[in-house]
Structure 1
């Protein structure tokens, strides 16, 4: 299992940091949402921000916790494909001889009208590459074509610009950051939505650990509480990432060794079956969601210092995997209407029901193994 120091570090992480960590372990992508008035603070918590004033960069989930660079892509109804693609890139210095051109792309490829030849940058030049963490703010407001381009980026791990094709780095995380009053309201276009590994809704009342630490000017080593989740930091000092790439690789390897008892597998299948048959669910539950449910449960196990899946881990995984995927049916399309139910009665039953309520209802109905 994970060594004791790493295990203690993981238990000190915030919910936002845990959502990012689980996505990095699984090499998948996540959706994070919060109420409209908290989006900017959420972005600052997740992204390394350099303000217009002389303040130093804020410590962020991406940079401070995981040692990754990040970009914010601001989306709206006027966002174009070229703007979206170019916004993903950051400058990356190359050492002489370290640059390897990408292979030629067949003209039949997606967004095919692109150059097929690339030049090596001269010594000392900087090349552009996709950032490790891409925070797509308000991606749900972007045109459908832009959201499909984002899906293609996640599927192929590369993006086309007017002059080149850029491959995603080994550690790559794409995070739509959306405004929503609840986790069940946050979603992007259907196929992209189903491709996303998990969803997390952040309550502003839970606070922003890294942002608050930066605004306080850092925490002194002598005054930092040993039980606090805020790590000691000296303003302007260069600190190592709390969780390195090697730590993430180690946790990923441990997750692949996690086992599940047949009773736990049966419990998992029962959860999926009950969700598919729930009267409030429209369009069913996709196979991709079932795969992600098992994958997330296995990724959670090493974080809890066990090498097997428990019913509690499956319940926790279900709350994160299905939050953004469940669509509530319209009352007139609820299945009991085919058998003579009254529309007003069905409307009363479905009133106030969202994905959160459906998930909790199913977890209460399905009996967990002892």
Structure 2
């Protein structure tokens, strides 16, 4: 069981921070949806969460229909590529089948370290030069950011989304000159905008958890994401609001300084956390929670309850798809990950319901009236349209949870 200090820090987190923490615990990735006019604020909040809450570097990938594979790959990297000729000289091709084309082992998951001169004399005794050399002069290795924020990923071409799926599956990205491995702590967040649908009167209807109308993720990529979260702007952006309060205090000339650091200056250029600032959750904290989640027990009645929820979702008349074996695996994983955050070493029915809401929110695809299964039996199209009107994934999940009896 986690200690009280760690649990207290968990309870102080916002919903967005919890979504990121759960993904890091499971080493999976998440989808976060918000109205279009709040998307920029969401991305800024996620930047601050990356650096302040977890002490991780970040990169923002702005996707649109013209995004190319090269644009996507280079946006993930922190640094500036060196000329190709130097890259070929410093990373010669090896004849060994156990090395990549760049001669670098594929399990290089660690962040760059400043190059140090060789302690031994003679030619060839020093460490090889880095593929990246920043303006400052010290050489560092090219590497993928710990947190990748893909804004409007659903608008990217299919080829780019397939490349994103390969990155999530293999934890590697190929560029023209080398192969880059993702760091050990790696989180990919798809930040999507959804402004709902307009009806005949021009009124806009917004439903929590709808599949984004401004661009849809490819089915296999969408299914690979661990959890989905709808963020209502009315719930606020905690870190951005803290920055606003500090800026207001500074503008009044007050000498009072907020405890614990922070502020806009806590994030430096390039998406790196400020040196000397301790994150709320260290890598050891995340590893501790991950270990506890693997030790969580699931009673047979609770497991039966989980499987009944899966079965009812598959049979729901409004569901066109999204109840996949991958979703079921993530369902069980999230149930166990939630238990240590509540100070438990076993899964309760309430945690099962909470996990279902997060795992299936971005996966459930609502069927069109023409393809609803009762149409095969002679149902009227107008009647089916009336039944399905205004139904979103969150409505389906809540209805299933209400129908399936929980174990006592």
TM superposition score normalised by structure 2: 0.78
Deviation at 1:120, TM superposition (A): 3.3
Deviation at 1:239, TM superposition (A): 2.5
1:198 to 218, 227, 251: 227
Q: Where does residue 134 of structure 1 map in the other structure? A: 148
Secondary structure of the residue that 2:344 maps to in structure 1?
Answer: coil
Matched, 1:248 2:248: no
Matched, 1:353 2:394: no
Q: Is the Cα–Cα contact under 8 Å of residues 91 and 102 in structure 2 kept in the other structure?
A: no
Q: Where does residue 239 of structure 2 map in the other structure? A: 210
Q: Where does residue 209 of structure 2 map in the other structure? A: 183
CA shift in 2, pair 1:74/1:252, >3 Å: same
1:121 to 119, 122, 129: 129
1:268 to 282, 287, 306: 306
2:66 to 78, 100, 104: 78
Bigger mean CA offset, 347-356 vs 232-241: 232-241
Q: Is the Cα–Cα contact under 8 Å of residues 320 and 366 in structure 2 kept in the other structure?
A: yes
1:258 to 284, 296, 301: 296
Q: Where does residue 296 of structure 1 map in the other structure? A: 334
- How many residues were matched structurally? 339
Deviation at 1:91, TM superposition (A): 3.4
Secondary structure of the residue that 2:210 maps to in structure 1?
Answer: helix
Q: Where does residue 52 of structure 2 map in the other structure? A: 64
Bigger mean CA offset, 233-242 vs 174-183: 233-242
CA shift in 2, pair 1:105/1:23, >3 Å: farther
Q: Where does residue 174 of structure 2 map in the other structure? A: 160
Secondary structure of the residue that 1:19 maps to in structure 2?
Answer: helix
Q: Where does residue 15 of structure 1 map in the other structure? A: 15
Deviation at 1:143, TM superposition (A): 0.2
1:338 to 373, 376, 380: 376
Gaps of 5+ in 2: 81-89, 105-126, 131-136, 196-207, 267-275
Listed as ranges, the matches of 1:216-255 within 5 Å are 216-217=245-246, 232-233=260-261, 235=263, 236=265, 238-255=276-293
Q: Is the Cα–Cα contact under 8 Å of residues 280 and 334 in structure 1 kept in the other structure?
A: yes
Q: Is the Cα–Cα contact under 8 Å of residues 105 and 116 in structure 1 kept in the other structure?
A: no
Q: Where does residue 107 of structure 2 map in the other structure? A: none
Q: Is the Cα–Cα contact under 8 Å of residues 275 and 284 in structure 1 kept in the other structure?
A: no
2:372 and 2:380 map into 1 onto residues whose CA distance is 11
CA shift in 2, pair 1:72/1:234, >3 Å: closer
CA shift in 2, pair 1:279/1:22, >3 Å: same
Q: For 1:187-235, what per-residue CA distance to the aligned partner results, in whole angstroms no more than 9, with x for missing partners?
A: 5111000000000111001111111111222799x998xxxxxx84365
2:95 and 2:145 map into 1 onto residues whose CA distance is 22
Q: Is the Cα–Cα contact under 8 Å of residues 69 and 163 in structure 2 kept in the other structure?
A: yes
2:92 and 2:28 map into 1 onto residues whose CA distance is 23
2:257 and 2:62 map into 1 onto residues whose CA distance is 38
Deviation at 1:124, TM superposition (A): 3.3
